[in-house]
Amino acid sequence: MIRFDVLTLFPGIFDGYLRHSLLDDAIRAGHVQVELWNIRDWSQDKHHKVDDRPYGGGPGMVLMAPPVVEAVEAVQAKATPPGQVILLTPAGIPLTQQLVRRLAEYPRLVLVCGRYEGFDERIRDILQPLEISIGDYVCNGGEVPAMVIIDCVIRLVPGVLGDQQSLLEESHMVPGEVEYPQYTRPRVYRGHAVPEVLLSGNHAAIAAWRRQQAEHRSRRRRQLLEDTSEEWKPMAPQQKEKVERVTETNRTY
Ligand code: SAM
């Protein structure tokens, strides 16, 4: 069982996410617990203000230290163990599968989501958190990064995945290594056939093909990462078949 305490100014963002698929199942089965806390509840201001203008000038607003520090301390005191405090920030250490594995060993993680221009530095000084970034880009808030952490970590909690075997061959289990291509029915789709070897029933040949494909993909990915100019090459235009379909589940926001 792992417990996540999420401190945010927008707890509602998590509602849909917590009620679907694997996470919903894991919560119902008692493998995962998620507690949402609104930082605003620890504001000492009569208008529940939690941010203010930066000293020294500059754009935007900064999250004030008192409500954040006091919220974290109060939440930590609500259960034992107090848990590892994680500050979501683009300046943190990058989230990798190796870090995800370490996080999955904690019984309790306290995730603090920033907003606006980020945190008053004294929040770091006082709480001494583990600072994590989900990548070298800037999101509007720490809520999506917190969901990314929850999403990756719960997969590793025993009992959450139906088949633990699927973890063994997954991408990034070995740093830099990614998974082989996967196929399911139909055998031929728009002229693209499933590789014959996968239909052969020859387990040794299938394992060898998958190993070779995984190595090829991993090598190709490493080359792409080294040669960043590749990402900007325009993609070949795709031949699109016009498919009109009546759908009852489309939603527009
Ligand atoms: N001014 C900040 C900076 O330049 O580093 C960016 C603030 S960002 C708009 C607001 C909040 O989103 C941050 O405090 C953090 O909690 C979250 N955030 C944004 N990008 C993130 C990332 N790559 N990883 C983790 N958290 C992130």
Whole-number pLDDT of residue 145: 98
> Where does a domain end: 154, 179, 214?
154
Whole-number pLDDT of residue 107: 98
> Where does a domain end: 104, 132, 154?
154
Rounded to the nearest angstrom, the distance between the alpha carbon of 111 and the centre of ligand 1 is 13
124 with 29, same domain: the answer is: yes
Q: Which of ligand 1's atoms lies nearest the C-alpha of 117?
A: 1
Of 13, 61, 86, 89, best ligand 1 pocket probe by most atoms within 8 Å of the beta carbon: 89
Rounded to the nearest angstrom, the distance between the alpha carbon of 119 and the centre of ligand 1 is 9
Rounded to the nearest angstrom, the distance between the alpha carbon of 87 and the centre of ligand 1 is 10
pTM beyond 0.75: the answer is yes
Read off the CATH number of the domain in which 114 is found: 3.40.1280.10
Ligand 1 pocket member 154 (CB < 6 A): no
Whether 164 is in a domain gets the answer no
Whether 180 is in a domain gets the answer no
Query: CA-to-CA distance for 104 and 2, rounded, in angstroms?
Result: 8
Query: CA-to-CA distance for 91 and 108, rounded, in angstroms?
Result: 23
Q: Which of ligand 1's atoms lies nearest the C-alpha of 112?
A: 16
Q: Which long-range contacts (CB under 8 A, 24 or more apart) does 222-229 make?
A: 222/176
Please write down the HEC assignment for all residues of 186-227.
CCEECCEECCHHHHCCCHHHHHHHHHHHHHHHHHHHHHHHHC
Query: CA-to-CA distance for 108 and 12, rounded, in angstroms?
Result: 21
Rounded to the nearest angstrom, the distance between the alpha carbon of 82 and the centre of ligand 1 is 24
Ligand 1 pocket member 59 (CB < 6 A): no
Whole-number pLDDT of residue 245: 82
Which residues contact residue 66 at a Cβ distance below 8 angstroms, ignoring those fewer than 6 apart?
42, 44
150 with 196, same domain: the answer is: no
Whether 168 is in a domain gets the answer no
Q: Where do we find the tokens 């080294």?
A: 226
Q: Which of ligand 1's atoms lies nearest the C-alpha of 140?
A: 9
The answer to whether the CB of 157 falls within 8 A of the CB of 31 is: yes
Of 115, 35, 110, 114, the residue nearest 73 (C-alpha): 110
* Number of domains making up the chain: 2
> Where does a domain end: 133, 154, 175?
154
Taking the CA atoms of residue 63, residue 111, residue 138 and residue 225 in that order, the dihedral angle to the nearest 10 degrees is 150
Q: Which of ligand 1's atoms lies nearest the C-alpha of 137?
A: 23
Ligand 1 pocket member 135 (CB < 6 A): yes
First to last CA, the chain: 35
51 with 139, same domain: the answer is: yes
Whether 98 is in a domain gets the answer yes
Q: Which amino acid is at 62?
A: V
Query: Looking at residue 227, what DSSP letter applies?
Result: -
* Residue 212: domain span: 188-250
Dump pLDDT digits (tens) for 15-52: 999 999 999 999 999 999 999 999 999 999 999 999 99
Ligand 1: which residue has its CA nearest to atom 23? 90
Stated length of the chain: 253
Ligand 1 pocket member 117 (CB < 6 A): yes
Dump pLDDT digits (tens) for 135-166: 999 999 999 999 999 999 999 999 999 888 88
pLDDT < 50 stretches in the chain: none
